[in-house]
Amino acid sequence: MRRRLILMRHGAVRYFEPDSARPLPPEDVQLTAEGEAQARAAGSLLAAAGVRPDRIVHSGLPRTRRTAELVQAACGGPTPEVREAFQEIHGGRLRDIAPAELRDAFTALQRGPLTPDSRFLGGESLHELQTRLLPAFEQLRAEGEWDCLLLVAHGVVNAALLSYLVSGGGRQVFGGWQQNPACLNLIDLGRQSGDDLLRAVNLNPTDWLQPGEQVSTMERLFEEFSAWRRRHTPLS
Give the pLDDT confidence score for residue 236 in this predicted structure: 52
Give the pLDDT confidence score for residue 113 in this predicted structure: 85
pTM score, whole prediction: 0.96
User: Which strand ranges, in their side-by-side order, compose the sheet holding 148-153?
Assistant: 81-82, 55-58, 148-153, 3-9, 184-189, 197-203
Q: How high is the mean pLDDT in each 10-residue block of the chain (236 residues)?
A: 96 93 93 98 98 98 98 98 98 94 94 92 97 98 95 98 96 96 98 94 94 92 94 74
Burial of 214 (0-12, 13-18, 19+ CB in 10 A): exposed
Is the link from the previous residue into 23 a cis peptide, with omega within 30 of 0?
no
Is the Cβ–Cβ distance between 208 and 42 less than 8 Å? no
Give the pLDDT confidence score for residue 1 in this predicted structure: 83
Cα–Cα nearest to 156, from 108, 225, 103, 206:
108
Query: What is the rounded CA–CA span in Å between residue 105 and residue 155?
Result: 15
Give the pLDDT confidence score for residue 112 in this predicted structure: 78
pLDDT in tens, 93-152: 999 999 999 999 999 998 878 999 999 999 999 999 999 999 999 999 999 889 999 999
Give the pLDDT confidence score for residue 235 in this predicted structure: 60
